[in-house]
Each structure stands twice: as structure tokens, then as C-alpha cells.
Chain A
Amino acid sequence: MSDKPLVDVENLHIAFPREDGGWHEAVRGVSFSLLAREKLGIVGESGSGKSLSSRALLGVLPEHARMSADRLRFDGIDLLQASPRERRKLRGGRMSMILQDPKFSLNPVLKVGRQIMEAFRIGYPALSGAETRRRAIDMLEAVHIRSPERVMDLYPHQISGGMGQRVMIAMMMAREPELLVADEPTSALDVTVRTQVLSIMDELVTRRGAGLILISHDLKLVSRFCNRVLVMYAGRIVESLRADEMHNARHPYTRGLLACLPSIQSTGDPLPVLQREAGWANPEGQP
């Protein structure tokens, strides 16, 4: 790993207008950085702000959101100063995002093959048509789609959710991004496919030197797959720890989350229930 961070975020705040005219602060002073070849996991419950933080990085926040940060950098580029056009260009090429539900990310009226080929054209405008098609098929093979030639000619509604997710991933990989943000990428997938998808993402990181942010509610998955894990609660990072040190988590919230997971070796006793403390939401509440 190089020591210059690929992503550098400091004191990020995101707020939404409330019905009563005030502001709801969904992300409150989040700072983190990501190195190339690093897999960073962000875990937290719904509403903890885990998705918003990386959406801000890609510049795809909802329109009515208000964002501020002391620093928001990608590979030395100041995203706070970048024009919308520059950011769009970054999103199309150097940064990519995989969303949970492929239904919303694939264009329903274009064939799958055409969408992947378009993704290639953005990255390699000089390629010939036949060459682009060949590469698209290779990419589908790489995400373990059987008979990719056939799948190229299907429309998104003709493929299953799991396959749609893999097509999405193929599209994102086609651009060879330097930063991949994966928001619950495997929740909709079968275990067998999940393993494959994770290994493809792993390859992007280890072989091509990309950085990966994996957002998930699944503690087990994140601790197994990532290098480092951020635990978010009520819009703040309450704990940051190495993934293999998960069982040594110190913050009561992280420990509570781990404890209340049911286990295969369960004795059938009631699960410990997370007792939330008001202090966790404050910066002083961190042990």
C-alpha cells in the first residue's frame, strides 16, 4: 500500500430539511481515509449515515441534501472545488458505485450487452465494435455468467436479480475504476454467487490496485472480507478497527451488535438485546 490516501474525508456533515423547517443531521462530522489496495468496510444500522457518506464522495446525494466538509479529496483532487462536469467525468471512469438493487441501475429498455459495451467505450473510446463486444463477453464470463453470448442479447427484465447484480458489477469493472463503492452489493445474492462476486471485487483491489469501500449491515461479511472496518452510529463513526480484530471491539455499540447476532451454535437462550445509550451519539461518548 502507498501511504498517500486515495480518498481523504474530513469532518463531513450531511443534513436534510425536516418537515418543520429545521434540519436533520444525518451525517455529523465523519472523517476517514482509504488507501489504494485497501478494502474498507462501513457497517451500521439503517439510518446511521453509512451510505450517505460515500454517496457524498461520488457526488450523488439527493438534491435537497445539504453537505459540508473540511476536506473531500479523491487522489489529490479537491472534490469540493471540482465542477459538476469534472465530477461526472470522475464518476464515469475513475470512481464507480454498485448498488444493492440492480433494478434501479440498469436501463430497462437497452439490452444488457449494449450497456456493458457502452461502459467499455467510456473507458476505451478507440476500441472497434467487435473488440468491444469481445471484451464485454469476457467481462460477463469473469463475473461467472454462463453463456454470456446469450445474456448479451437479453433485456434487464429477462434476467434474475442475482444475474442483474453481476451484470452491474461487470459494467462497473469494465471501466476499471480506481475507487469502487459497493453499497450492500451482495444482499440480494445467493451464497454461492456471493462468494464469486466478492472474489471478483477482491481481484479488482489486489491485482489492479483499486480502493474499495464496502457498505453493509452484515458484520460477519465485512469482518471476513475487509481490511479495516468503520462502525457508524447516528451519523458518527463510533469505532474504527482492523477487520480481524472485530472480536476485540471496544465500543459497547459494536460489541452489542456482535452479541445480538444469532449463531449456529445457539443454545436457544434469548439473544442479548442491545441497550442503547444516549451518550453514543455524542463525540464525548466514545470510550
Chain B
Amino acid sequence: MSSTLSIEPISSRQALRMARRAEFNRFVSRFRRNRLGMAGLAILILLVFCAIFAPLLSTHDPYLPDLAKRLSAPGAEFWLGADELGRDIYTRILYGSRLTLMIVLQVVVTAAPVGLVVGAISGTYGGIVDKIFMRITDVFLAVPKLLLALAFVAALGPGIFNAVLAITLTAWPPYARMARAEALVVRNADYVNAARLAGASQAYLIVRHIMPMCLSSVIVRMTLDMAGVILIAAGLGFIGLGAQPPLPEWGAMISTGRKFIFDQWWVATMPGIAIFLVCLGFNLLGDAMRDLLDPHLRQRG
């Protein structure tokens, strides 16, 4: 008996890990059957790949101007053409993917958790806590996202860091709303009641039961939101309040290309295509995630 006791905890942990891995494998195999989702994932993997290996993949220096070759058409030297300072657009798009990815990641690690926590607390406690939290959320939701971000950037000063901060401040309220709606359902579920009957505190219920159940909706929403975040970041860049020159931010690149759009269409179009592709990738992935994770869709199926 004593010998089995010393072995048991390890083996049970292994068994648990195996059970989890089996769950994960099932998820992966279901995901792989969704072709559009796989396409979206492929686009995003390409984005990450470009961001990491930008120096190796690039053909020029992203910042060094070469005025003699300004506005060169796409060709053997400049695959996607050159901009108004003679910089290679292909190289700048590669480096720009780093900025895009950074913005996306920062928003993910800030806005979604804030929204999740606010929403879960609000939905679980209800009453006055709920009222206060949700009215604050309403205030943020009442102002158009881009406008609010603009106001923040105007107050904080232009720059990529401030742009990210502004986007985060505008991005969390929808997550709070959604997490609250989920929490309202989950808090009355019998498995939560069972934990309550065992004497669990509200904090325990929120962390262990309610937040994990809101998580899948948050992930789906997050993936679908990423396209919007990228567009807002590009929008801020476009009007000169986001990333500042000479940073190769896609929105700012389109902005400078605007002047040449009729004669040198590639200057604005190439970063535009990059934005389009990445947004498409996030949307396709988001749709696939929703098909797999959304609890409401699941029940129907």
C-alpha cells in the first residue's frame, strides 16, 4: 500500500496530462477539417514568419533612402516597387509586420484580460457592482472606437506606444459585455451551485468556474477583433497619429502613397494588400474558432 501511494500521484498526473492531450488532439483534428480556418492560420503563420525573419528575407535596408530610385515601379530590383524616398516597399512591408504583430499582441494581453475580469466580476456579483461596472463600460461603448482612440492619442501625443494604449482603452468594453453575459448564465449552472454548496467563495467561483467558461467566447471574439485592431492602428498611422516616420507601419505607408496613387499605384496598394491579407487571415481563423468553441453553436450542433 505504501509503495503504491508514493507512485500514485505521479501516475495520476500523467493520466491527467494524457486526458488533456487527447482533448487537445480532438480539437486539432476538428480544426484541421475546416479548410478556411486552415487558410487563415496559414496566413497568420506567414505573418509571424515574416516578422521573425524580416532581416533575412529583406532585399534592402528599410530606412535608407535612395532618392535616385524614388518611386521605381515593381521589377527585378524592387519586387513591389519603391516609395517616395526610394526605399524598397517589400522590405518595409516585412519590417512593418513586426509592428503589426506587436500592436496585436499588446492589445491581446491587455484588453481581453481586463474585459474578462471586469465582465466576470460584474456578472457574478450582480447588483450594485454590476451596475457600476456596466455603466462605465457603456460610456466607453457609446463613443466610436476610432474617435475615442483619436482623442486619447491627441491627449497623449502621437506615437506607436500611445496608439496601442489608446486601442486597448477602446477595445476592452466589448469583452466585458460578453464575459458578463456568459457569467450571468454560468453563475446559475448547477456545477457552480455545487461548488457554492461546498462552501466556495465568490472569488473562487469567478476564477475557477466562471472565467474559464467565458474564455472560449473571449478567444473567438479576440480573433475576430484583431482585424479591427489592425485597421484602427493603420487608421491612426494613416492620419499621422500612430507610428511616426520613418517606422514602416502599413497605415503610414498607405498615407504617404496617397499622393502618388494615380501614377505610382504600388506605393499605397502594396501595404494595403498586406493589411487586407492579415485581416482576412484573422477573420477566417476567428470564424473557424467560433465554429469550434462557441458554446451556443455547439449546443445546437
| Interface residues in chain A, defined as those with a beta carbon under 8 Å from any beta carbon in chain B | 19
Closest CB in chain B relative to A138 CB, distance in Å:
37
A-B CB contact pairs (8 Å), 3 listed: A19-B26, A19-B29, A19-B30
Residue of A nearest to B29 (CB): A19
Interfacial chain A residues near B26, Cβ < 8 Å: 19
Cα A209 to Cα B30 in complex, Å, equals 50
3 tightest A-B contacts by CB? A19-B30, A19-B26, A19-B29
Interface residues of B in 8-63 (CB under 8 A from A): 26, 29-30
Cα A19 to Cα B301 in complex, Å, equals 13
Cα A19 to Cα B26 in complex, Å, equals 9
Interface residues of B in 65-110 (CB under 8 A from A): none
Interfacial chain B residues near A19, Cβ < 8 Å: 26, 29-30
Interfacial chain A residues near B30, Cβ < 8 Å: 19
Residue of B nearest to A20 (CB): B29
Interfacial chain A residues near B29, Cβ < 8 Å: 19
Cα A19 to Cα B28 in complex, Å, equals 12
Closest CB in chain A relative to B253 CB, distance in Å:
45
Closest CB in chain A relative to B62 CB, distance in Å:
47
Closest CB in chain B relative to A8 CB, distance in Å:
33
Residue of A nearest to B26 (CB): A19
Cα A19 to Cα B23 in complex, Å, equals 13
Closest CB in chain A relative to B22 CB, distance in Å:
13
Cα A19 to Cα B30 in complex, Å, equals 8
Closest CB in chain A relative to B157 CB, distance in Å:
51
Cα A4 to Cα B203 in complex, Å, equals 68
Cα A19 to Cα B33 in complex, Å, equals 10
Residue of A nearest to B30 (CB): A19
Residue of B nearest to A21 (CB): B33
Closest CB in chain B relative to A186 CB, distance in Å:
25
Closest CB in chain A relative to B95 CB, distance in Å:
43
Cα A19 to Cα B29 in complex, Å, equals 9
Cα A58 to Cα B168 in complex, Å, equals 53
Closest CB in chain B relative to A22 CB, distance in Å:
14
Closest CB in chain B relative to A233 CB, distance in Å:
26
Closest CB in chain A relative to B278 CB, distance in Å:
32
Cα A19 to Cα B25 in complex, Å, equals 12
Closest CB in chain B relative to A17 CB, distance in Å:
11
Closest CB in chain A relative to B297 CB, distance in Å:
15
Residue of B nearest to A62 (CB): B301
Closest CB in chain A relative to B48 CB, distance in Å:
30
Closest CB in chain B relative to A14 CB, distance in Å:
18
Cα A19 to Cα B32 in complex, Å, equals 12
Cα A19 to Cα B31 in complex, Å, equals 12
Cα A94 to Cα B29 in complex, Å, equals 44
Cα A197 to Cα B29 in complex, Å, equals 47
Cα A109 to Cα B29 in complex, Å, equals 40
Closest CB in chain A relative to B299 CB, distance in Å:
12
Cα A127 to Cα B281 in complex, Å, equals 57
Cα A159 to Cα B30 in complex, Å, equals 41
Closest CB in chain A relative to B165 CB, distance in Å:
44
